[in-house]
Structure 1
Amino acid sequence: MTAIGFLYPGHSAEDDYPRMEALLADAEVRLPLVHTDIGTDAHRVDALLEMGSADRLAAGVEELRLSGAEAVVWACTSASFVFGWEGAHEQVRTLAATAGLPASSTSFAFAHAVRKLGVTRVAVAATYPDDVAELFRTFLKSAGAEVVSTRGSGVITAAEVGTWGREEVLALARAGDHPDAEAVLLPDTALHTAAHLTELEAELGKPVLTANQVTVWEGLRLADRRVRAAALGALFAG
């Protein structure tokens, strides 16, 4: 049994993780999750820098160690890429040292997943305000991806994003797609997407990477586990 630990900010779409754990049941994977203190719930640079601070992440590490986690992922996109390329690396290095485990974050999960799919041109369909979405575009550029379009939705709080259902998720992906994009990225772990991955890819006719999906895949990558699960989209196709 492989256990991957996740530090998840607040309470929004954490139920994506038991859903994905169930879909990965044949692979004998556990996905224990610990909630971190979100502080101010705002897609605002100052609030995100505090949300992703070393002290807030460190507070949940011991519980994950006791769960038997073999790796840990900071399950937040915005409060990792907001630190910039070098700052996000420092964030996960500090987390790894604190946990004594391999560590990563959702932002790096997106970068690694894009490479895994072998695509170079992507579109970003974000829930965030435009200025925060632009920081994600810059992060992806540093990772070597060409972002052909970036669409923000202007949503300030994770709490609001967590209320979005199937129709809102599909509408977000459609609005953010671009004819030149080889894949579409939905970067917010507050967004429920685990139940909609195959429908999203069928609708757009291309791979779709979503925050909670890539976060789980990244944890498995850290643990050197290669798992197939058709219900989790092209990234898990093999």
Structure 2
Amino acid sequence: MTYETRTRAKIGVLVPFTNTNLEADMDLMRCPDTTVHFQRMGGYDVDEIPGSDQMAGLGASDISHDLRMISGVRPDVVLYGCTSATLTHGPSFDADLARDIKAGSGAKCFTAAGALVAAIQALGVTKVGFSSPYLGEINVQAQDFLRANGIETVKCADVGRELGNYGQGELTPDEVYDLACQADDPAAEAIVLSCTDMRSVEAVTRIEAALGKPVVTSNQAMMFAVAKALSLPRHDGLPGRLFDLLQG
């Protein structure tokens, strides 16, 4: 019997405690011989609709305990797995949080929002179609976040209804595909699917085949950032044109 070495890299992930999708996506995209370790974090009310104030509160919450817990595995990289928690505050806050996590864990750090921007920039595009399961206010803040990083949203699509903290993860890949198609526009050079709790990774290949343009999702972007930072090779579990930029 052949075993994985499990010595290539250890990836730590901070994940909102109601998120039901991020762990599954990381397992789908995990590079062989790496391990992924999760620490769930609170800072928001499970019974409230996850609007701008709620997500901003999560981003500003104290994660010192969570960092101590995830540091126990001696990770090579720590991911902050909530996109809206930092994009509601803006790029400076996002960058500061990444630095604080690096200082607190001793590992490289990438936030979901920061990784999303870096992935779009790596593709060399500046005009995108944007879709998410967020409420309208967060979508506006997301577009502002992208604009501050030189990325224009030419069309935005959302689910058209309020989703609770479990509703985002309950969207099916078919529904995500429909959302992506609604965000498409002739001027869009890529489609962005924002939210770590949305099942976007499973829909990437289908969307790219239908629309003929690259797709960037929050979780895919974080794994791309990890692969680049740790010099991990491309493998069959990595979906989308984004990963064509990797070596191997």
Partner of 2:5: none
Q: For the structure 1 residues 110 and 76, does the alpha-carbon distance in structure 2 shift closer, same or farther, using more than 3 Å as the test?
A: same
One-letter code of the match for 2:206?
E
Kept after mapping to 2: 8 A contact 1:155/1:161: no
Partner of 1:5: 12
C-alpha RMSD over aligned residues: 1.7
Partner of 1:49: 56
**Aligned residue runs from structure 1 range 56-205, under 5 A:** 57-153=63-159, 154-205=161-212
**Post-superposition shift, 1:149?**
1.6
Kept after mapping to 2: 8 A contact 1:54/1:95: no
Identify the match of residue 213 of structure 1 among 207, 215, 220. Answer: 220
**Post-superposition shift, 1:38?**
5.0
Distance 2:219 2:198 in 1: 8
SS at match of 1:7: strand
Distance 1:31 1:225 in 2: 16
Q: Structure 1 regions of 5+ residues with no counterpart? A: none
Q: For the structure 1 residues 170 and 50, does the alpha-carbon distance in structure 2 shift closer, same or farther, using more than 3 Å as the test?
A: same
One-letter code of the match for 1:200?
I
Kept after mapping to 1: 8 A contact 2:132/2:157: yes
Aligned identity (percent) is: 26
Identify the match of residue 16 of structure 1 among 14, 25, 38. Answer: 25
One-letter code of the match for 2:27?
P
SS at match of 2:40: strand
**Is 2:48 aligned against 1:39?**
no
Kept after mapping to 2: 8 A contact 1:48/1:78: yes
**Post-superposition shift, 1:139?**
0.4
SS at match of 1:196: helix
Distance 2:162 2:214 in 1: 24
Distance 1:194 1:147 in 2: 21
One-letter code of the match for 1:167?
D
Kept after mapping to 1: 8 A contact 2:174/2:203: no
Distance 1:58 1:198 in 2: 37
Distance 1:211 1:81 in 2: 12
Distance 2:26 2:223 in 1: 8
Distance 1:63 1:37 in 2: 14
**Post-superposition shift, 1:113?**
0.2
Distance 2:226 2:232 in 1: 10
SS at match of 1:155: coil
> 31-40 or 79-88, which moves further after superposition?
31-40
Q: Structure 2 regions of 5+ residues with no counterpart? A: 1-7
**Post-superposition shift, 1:226?**
4.2
Matched pairs, number = 232
The normalised TM-score by structure 2 is 0.87
Kept after mapping to 1: 8 A contact 2:43/2:61: no
Kept after mapping to 1: 8 A contact 2:116/2:221: yes
Distance 1:32 1:187 in 2: 22
Partner of 1:30: 35
**Post-superposition shift, 1:233?**
0.8
